[in-house]
Amino acid sequence: MFCKINKGNRIIKKFNLLYCHDEGYNLQTFLSINSVLKNSETSIFDIHILHENPDTFSSYCEKLKTSPKINEIFLYKFKDINNFFPNIKGKHVSAATYYRLFIQNYLPDSLNSLIYLDSDVIAIKNVDKIFEKCEREILESKFTIYVSTEMVKLNENHDVFKNLELVGTNYFNAGVMFIDYKKWKNKTSINKFLDLIELYKEKIIFWDQDVLNKFFDNNFLKLSDNLNFRVYEPVDYTRLDSDAVLLHYSGNAKPWTIQGGYKRSSQFFLDNYREHYPDKFYFELNKSRLESTKLLIKLLLNNDFLSIEYKFTYFIKALEIILSGKNKQDVF
Residue 75: C-alpha distances to residues 32, 133, 253, 259 (Å): 16, 27, 29, 33
| Alpha helices, DSSP H, located in 22-144 | 26-38, 58-64, 128-140
Assess contact for 216 and 142: CB atoms under 8 A: no
Cα distance between residue 242 and residue 216, in whole Å: 31
Provide the pLDDT for residue 69: 97
Helix/strand/coil for 293? helix
Helix/strand/coil for 297? helix
Closest CA to 69 of 13, 134, 132: 13
Q: β-strands 145-152, 221-222: how paired?
A: parallel
Mean pLDDT by 10 residues, the chain (332 residues): 52 92 96 98 97 96 96 96 79 86 97 98 98 98 98 80 94 98 97 96 94 97 97 91 96 93 96 96 94 95 95 96 89 66
Provide the pLDDT for residue 10: 61
Whether the predicted model's global pTM rises above the 0.85 cut: yes
Q: What domains can be seen in the chain, in order of their start residue?
A: 3-227 (3.90.550.10), 252-324 (no CATH)
Residues making up the chain, counted from first to last: 332
Provide the pLDDT for residue 5: 52
